[in-house]
A and B are shown apart, each in its own frame.
Chain A
Amino acid sequence: MASPLPPYASPQQRFWYYAFRVICGLIFFYLIFPILVIIPLSFNADNFFTFTPKMLAFDPDGYSLKHYQDFLTSPDWQQALRNSFTIAPVATIVATVLGTLAAIGLSQSHVPAKSLIMAILISPMIVPLIISAAGMYFFYSRLGLQGTYWGVVLAHAALGTPFVIITVTATLVGFDRSLTRASASLGADPITTFFKVQMPLIMPGVVSGALFAFITSFDEVVVVLFVGSASQKTLPWQMFIGLREQISPTILAVATVMTALSVVLLITLEGIRRRSERLRGLSPS
């Protein structure tokens, strides 16, 4: 159906060939359109959520940056932005350091109770967020961590580690163990071997794991709603409250900024993936 149409195709086959592509086009439209449509809408000069006649006529008066201005001047959004950028990096560092060490440990050939350990370490990714949020809310309030900065960082770091483990383990699968032996035989101690030999080779996995952990924390809203308090509100928290209570077009401006950030992350990740494939000789191109 989708492979190149042979010259002997019957009219019916021709019809299906094109119909199939149209259907796929429509599905791609469904996937992408909602993300793209908020970009022009965020430049709306009025407080509407639809295209005004002026916008459709491409009248410059129909467009403005006022929602972006609002985002950059409103204290609520500024606090949320600050919180997001103080919580996510710390959670990412904790998740990446612990996750990388554990992934290296897990990739050794003799690990007792490996599948049990793996199941525990991956569990934050499997358990529905609302359940994690409920459990953390109950437990952290007992410890006095509920509503604190460190409570949110701990929770986000826990949610991010499975991604680090998965990405780093994937790079370690192709890791040649004789390299560390060679390094040891040349007189390097284990720490030198780790930083000079192993680390540079598994770096792509570590970086993409860190990006996953960052985006997990940066996008996370359910856990922060419960574990955090008003002074830890992050961008997604503020968006959630905004969408639920008093929906204002500023949200569209924030959404556009966040989409731009995701695109940057996606491009970075794709670059890392290609580089690592080239380095490991997986694809000749």
Chain B
Amino acid sequence: MSSATDSMAPTGRPADGIMRAADGTPLKVSIARALRREKLRALLLILPLLVFIILSFVLPIADMLFRSVENQIVSETIPRTVVALRDWDSRSGELPDEAVFAAMQADLTEAFEAKAHTRLGLRLNYEKSGMSSIFRKSGRPVADLQPPYKDGFIKIDDGWGDIETWVVIKRASPAYTAGYFLAAADLEQTSQGIQRVPENERLYIMLFGRTMWMSLLITFCCLLLGYPLAYLMSHVRRSTANLLMILVLLPFWTSLLVRTSAWKVLLQQQGVINDTLVWAGLVANDGRLELINNQTGTVIAMTHILLPFMILPLFSVMQTISPTYVRAAKSLGASDWTAFWRVYFPQTIPGIGAGAILAFILAIGYYITPELVGGTQGVFISNRIAYHISSSLNWGLAAALGTMLLVLVIILFWVYDRMVGIDNVKLG
């Protein structure tokens, strides 16, 4: 761009009225070309990272979103049955006809050879318990069946004579399903439409509720503890403030695992805190407090871990508030409290908002600390996601729960971006 502007003077204004650069091209074209080149250069610099992040991060997330609705296993494992079942009316009250059973015999024989029938059984078990054992039991004997297949199947397992079994298979046939999301919202598809699951099986709504409620509590605790510290730090001499800042940054920089292990050690029944309380006579030796493996443990440890994230934005806002406002309020007769509450506090609200949203976003996605100090009552939705990935292997449900959590976080971050601006994220 600069070369075009520099060359304006010698070229001057030619007779045809078009300003030209030194090489004779019209100035407009020349500038546009330089601009294009600049854009291209910027994009070329960004491109390697963009490709890297898309490959290593965005595609994995997209894969997770896809898995939350993907359901090709049924139509891939028993393709003939899926086609044959299309003509069967699940509300007829009758079992499917012989053709469907014949298709199932052929499909299952192949599936058994490929050892895919147990996986399918496991998948269908998410829809209705008991399906897994029907498929496991039928795998081997099905190959030797002779027509009529219907009676043969029912002889192997009574489940094949149950209309519900076929209803479930037909319902699970499409390549995409909303079943995982329904399960993640404690709903299920029954022959009477979508219904809530029985009371004793409801888990996820409660878990989402608990995650939200405990994250709010933790955010509130962070605010309660962080506000006075940020206030103190912004009202002392600069050198003292720097020293106090180091005390805040040290836990911020200390490994998460180190801090969690510290709390695990401190909060135990035979740990330092209980020992001190017993020694001071505040608690009887046989009445030691249960501070760990419950919600108390999660709140204490997570407040400690997230506190710096609250203090840093609060401090950066409080630093910019001029002390003259409070002085003016006091000179006009306001008491200390009124001056603080009516004049100082409202000016810190942007900092409170930024810190609170940041702490809340971080809290709802936490996994490690609740897992280690939360017991069964203090775990979050993340722990359930991890459980479904590594223990129950119900990846679809894990993906659906993850998608719901992700949507929640994105909404919160959008709010954060509107309030603070994502570019204003500061580190340390």
Listed in ascending order, the chain A residues whose CB lies under 8 Å from chain B are 1-3, 13, 16, 20-21, 23-24, 27-28, 30-32, 34-35, 37-38, 41, 48-51, 94, 98-99, 101-102, 104-106, 108-112, 117-124, 126-140, 142, 154-155, 157-158, 161, 163, 165-167, 169-170, 181, 208, 212, 215, 218-219, 221-222, 226, 236, 239-240, 243-244, 247, 251-252, 255, 258-259, 262-263, 265-266, 269-270, 273
The answer to whether A24 and B49 have CB atoms under 8 Å apart is no
The answer to whether B231 and A35 have CB atoms under 8 Å apart is no
Chain A residues within 8 Å of B365, by CB: 127-131
Cα–Cα, bound, A83→B4 (Å): 55
B322 at the interface (CB under 8 A from A): no
Name which of A118, A129, A208 has the most chain B CB atoms within 10 A of its CB: A129
The answer to whether B323 and A3 have CB atoms under 8 Å apart is yes
**Chain B interface main SS type:** helix
The answer to whether A239 and B261 have CB atoms under 8 Å apart is yes
B331 at the interface (CB under 8 A from A): no
Chain A residues within 8 Å of B43, by CB: 105, 111-112
A128, A154, A169, A226: the one contacting B405 at CB < 8 Å is A128
The answer to whether B262 and A38 have CB atoms under 8 Å apart is yes
Contacts A49-B265, A251-B261; A28 near B60 (Cβ below 8 A):
no
Cα–Cα, bound, A138→B397 (Å): 13
Chain B residues within 8 Å of A24, by CB: 228-229, 232
Contacts A110-B39, A121-B50, A258-B255; A266 near B250 (Cβ below 8 A):
yes
67-108 of chain B: CB within 8 A of chain A:
67
Name which residue of chain B comes closest to A102, CB basis. Answer: B49
Chain A residues within 8 Å of B366, by CB: 128
Contacts A129-B367, A134-B402; A265 near B261 (Cβ below 8 A):
no
Chain A residues within 8 Å of B390, by CB: 226
The answer to whether B49 and A163 have CB atoms under 8 Å apart is no
Contacts A111-B43, A134-B64; A101 near B268 (Cβ below 8 A):
no
Cα–Cα, bound, A94→B49 (Å): 10
The answer to whether A181 and B2 have CB atoms under 8 Å apart is yes
Name which residue of chain B comes closest to A134, CB basis. Answer: B402
The answer to whether A135 and B44 have CB atoms under 8 Å apart is no
Chain B residues within 8 Å of A1, by CB: 231, 235, 336, 340
Cα–Cα, bound, A131→B366 (Å): 10
For the complex, count residues of B whose C-beta is within 8 A of A: 93
Cα–Cα, bound, A30→B248 (Å): 11
The answer to whether B336 and A13 have CB atoms under 8 Å apart is yes
Using A101-B48, A134-B399, A258-B255 as known contacts, list a sample of 4 further A-B pairs with CB atoms less than 8 Å apart, ordered by residue number in A: A38-B258, A121-B53, A132-B57, A219-B256
Chain B residues within 8 Å of A98, by CB: 48-49, 52
Using an 8 Å CB-CB cutoff, how does the interface string of B246-279 with A read, 1 for contact, 0 for none?
Answer: 1111110111111111111110101110010000
Name which of B259, B262, B426 has the most chain A CB atoms within 10 A of its CB: B262
Which stretch in B109-117, B154-162, B195-203, B381-389 binds the other chain?
Answer: B381-389
Cα–Cα, bound, A240→B386 (Å): 14
Cα–Cα, bound, A21→B235 (Å): 12
The answer to whether A37 and B413 have CB atoms under 8 Å apart is no
B9 at the interface (CB under 8 A from A): no
A244 to chain B, nearest CB (A): 6
Name which residue of chain A comes closest to B395, CB basis. Answer: A138
Using an 8 Å CB-CB cutoff, how does the interface string of B306-333 with A read, 1 for contact, 0 for none?
Answer: 0110000000000000010000000000
Chain B residues within 8 Å of A109, by CB: 38
Cα–Cα, bound, A62→B41 (Å): 65
The answer to whether A110 and B35 have CB atoms under 8 Å apart is yes
Chain A residues within 8 Å of B259, by CB: 34-35
Cα–Cα, bound, A60→B35 (Å): 73
Chain A residues within 8 Å of B57, by CB: 123-124, 132, 135-136, 158
A283 to chain B, nearest CB (A): 10
323-356 of chain B: CB within 8 A of chain A:
323, 336, 340
A127 to chain B, nearest CB (A): 7
Name which residue of chain B comes closest to A153, CB basis. Answer: B56
Name which of B67, B259, B371, B427 has the most chain A CB atoms within 10 A of its CB: B427
